[in-house]
Amino acid sequence: MGPDPASHLAALRAAGLYRRRRVVEQALPGARCVVGGREVLNFCSNDYLGLAQDPRVAEAMAAAARSLGAGSGASHLVTGHQRAHHALEEELAAFTGRERALLFSTGYMANLGVAAALAGRGDTVLEDRLNHASLLDAGLLCGARFSRFNHGDSDALERRLEPAGRGRKLVLTDGVFSMDGDLAPLPRYASACRRHRATLVVDDAHGLGVLGATGGGTVEHFGLGAVDVPVLVGTLGKAFGTFGAFVAGDRDLIDLLVQRARTYIYTTALPPAVAEATRAALGIVRTEPWRARRVLAHVTRFRDLARHAGLPLADSFTPIQPVLLGTPQAATAASEALLGRGFLVTAIRPPTVPEGGSRLRVTLCATHEDADVVGLVEALAEVLSEGSDPTLSPTADPPDVGEHVQGGQSGGA
Ligand SMILES: *Cc1c(COP(=O)(O)O)cnc(C)c1O
């Protein structure tokens, strides 16, 4: 880190790690959007079921805003907890098969709140190494002894739980890993936690609504329940297409969060219109299971085509399909080359992923057409086989000049 902002920024640029926001000028139906004045196909959103643009969800939000207003006006413990929030909590509890659910403003805040309420000084928090940043921050900030175990390694978890000693033990994991798309081995994590009297918290931001026979997520996929995973975190900004998050669990857990989770207590309740929109989205998740099936059919199609084209695939059967490229420069260059072909796929670089793990994070959505998936794989194959261009080779050294990088960073179109 540089001593001042300017040199810190210069160091980030030199390392290929400078981040730049892309203005999406307009979201269009069918996973399309306008970027740099051009219509492109979006292959990196988390709107897996296509509900963010669904007219029924948008209309529920608009109607609720007209009748209930734009904001909640206060935190939940003052006067912000409205009928819409309460109804959504009851519906989320039913959807996840838990006694209760509690709304948070974001998934980030839900995770901070859970860890702080369930662990502190003298306790132990253990996390999968590839957990989402919000879970890692939650573990670090709660004041407990904190350590990470190797990705997906339940034996490593067990070895850390063994000597954890007195105090509460909390194990935090993603259900679907957000940058890799693979699943946590929840049955093994759950039995390790049971043996060592640890509490398992699963953040299923990317599994809920998509995996499991009824969209119940990774927990349902594995045939587990509330006994195995007593604390379930879900977000509403991904498959549900709106905004916010929730924690589901038993009565006492939720009551404790209301008493102790500072990120619940000291913040304004979501706008009730967001809660009403989410109720509409939840209804669609329940009544239109074809959406999840369609996403998963796209996953199969993508993987078959990509394997045929010799693309480097990861071990994922979820809508998150990383294409590993190695260096940040290679990932950025491939992303820019794809954008030139009309496909929006963001490059993911450290520290979001480990050093050497820069990638394109392709996501598939119900709103994609079969032909869109075919087109993406063709474009990917072209971009990655342009071996004459060293910046695009997965194994290439970082480019010195990086024309692609510079050209791309100049703004899109
Ligand atoms: C996106 C995400 C979050 C954060 O949720 P927000 O509601 O966007 O703050 C938390 N955990 C995981 C695994 C995520 O992917």
Mind listing the pLDDT tens digit for each residue in 309-368? 999 999 999 999 999 999 999 999 999 999 999 999 999 999 899 999 999 999 999 999
Paired sense of beta strands 358-363 and 347-348, if any: antiparallel
To test ligand 1's pocket by mutation, which of 134, 173, 211 has the most ligand atoms within 8 angstroms of CB? Answer: 134
Q: What percent of the chain has pLDDT over 70?
A: 93
- The reported pLDDT for the residue numbered 216 is 98
Question: What is the distance in A from the centroid of ligand 1 to the CA of 255?
Answer: 23
- What's the token pair of residue 273? 């219109």
What is the average pLDDT score of the chain? 92
Listed residue (115, 111, 130) closest to 199, CA to CA: 115
Query: Amino acid identity of 53?
Result: Q
- What's the token pair of residue 302? 């993508």
The tens digit of pLDDT for each residue in 159-208 reads: 999 886 789 999 999 999 999 999 999 999 999 999 999 999 999 999 99
How much is the pTM? Answer: 0.92
Paired sense of beta strands 343-344 and 347-348, if any: unpaired
Q: What mean pLDDT is predicted for residues 226-239?
A: 98
- The reported pLDDT for the residue numbered 3 is 73
Asked if pLDDT for residue 251 goes beyond 70, the answer is yes
Asked if pLDDT for residue 308 goes beyond 60, the answer is yes
CA 48 – CA 368 distance, rounded (Å): 10
DSSP output for 43-101: -S-S-TTS-TT-HHHHHHHHHHHHHH-S---SBIIIII--HHHHHHHHHHHHHHT-SEE
Lowest mean pLDDT of 19-33, 51-65, 100-114, 269-283, name the range. Answer: 19-33
- The reported pLDDT for the residue numbered 16 is 87
Asked if pLDDT for residue 385 goes beyond 60, the answer is yes
Q: What mean pLDDT is predicted for residues 81-89?
A: 98
Contact 246, 237 (CB under 8 A): no
Question: What is the distance in A from the centroid of ligand 1 to the CA of 45?
Answer: 13
**From atom 4 of ligand 1, which residue's Cα is the shortest distance away?**
107
> What are the two backbone dihedrals, phi and then psi, of residue 37, each rounded to the nearest 5 degrees?
80, 0
Paired sense of beta strands 245-249 and 231-235, if any: antiparallel
Within 8 A by CB and 6+ apart from 377, the residues are 302, 305, 306, 309, 311
Asked if pLDDT for residue 228 goes beyond 50, the answer is yes
Query: Amino acid identity of 159?
Result: R
Report the 10 Å Cβ neighbour count for 91.
Answer: 17
Paired sense of beta strands 24-28 and 32-35, if any: antiparallel
- The reported pLDDT for the residue numbered 182 is 98
The tens digit of pLDDT for each residue in 388-411 reads: 354 444 443 333 322 222 222 222
Q: How confident is the model at residue 108 (pLDDT cuts 50, 70, 90)?
A: very high
- The reported pLDDT for the residue numbered 336 is 95
Q: What mean pLDDT is predicted for residues 133-145?
A: 97
* Cβ of residue 131 lying under 6 Å from some atom of ligand 1: no
Question: What is the distance in A from the centroid of ligand 1 to the CA of 107?
Answer: 5
- The reported pLDDT for the residue numbered 1 is 52
Contact 368, 32 (CB under 8 A): no
Residue in the block written with tokens 């839900």? 110
Phi-psi region of 400 (alpha: psi -120 to 50; beta: other; left: phi over 0): alpha
Query: Amino acid identity of 8?
Result: H
Q: What mean pLDDT is predicted for residues 27-32?
A: 92
* Cβ of residue 203 lying under 6 Å from some atom of ligand 1: yes
Within 8 A by CB and 6+ apart from 76, the residues are 85, 103, 258, 264, 265, 269
To test ligand 1's pocket by mutation, which of 47, 108, 247 has the most ligand atoms within 8 angstroms of CB? Answer: 108
* Cβ of residue 205 lying under 6 Å from some atom of ligand 1: yes
Find residue 399's DSSP bridge partners.
Answer: none
- The reported pLDDT for the residue numbered 163 is 81
Q: Which runs of E-coded beta strand occur in 345-388? A: 347-348, 358-363
Q: Which residues are catalytic?
A: 178, 206, 238
Question: What is the distance in A from the centroid of ligand 1 to the CA of 207?
Answer: 12
* Cβ of residue 134 lying under 6 Å from some atom of ligand 1: yes
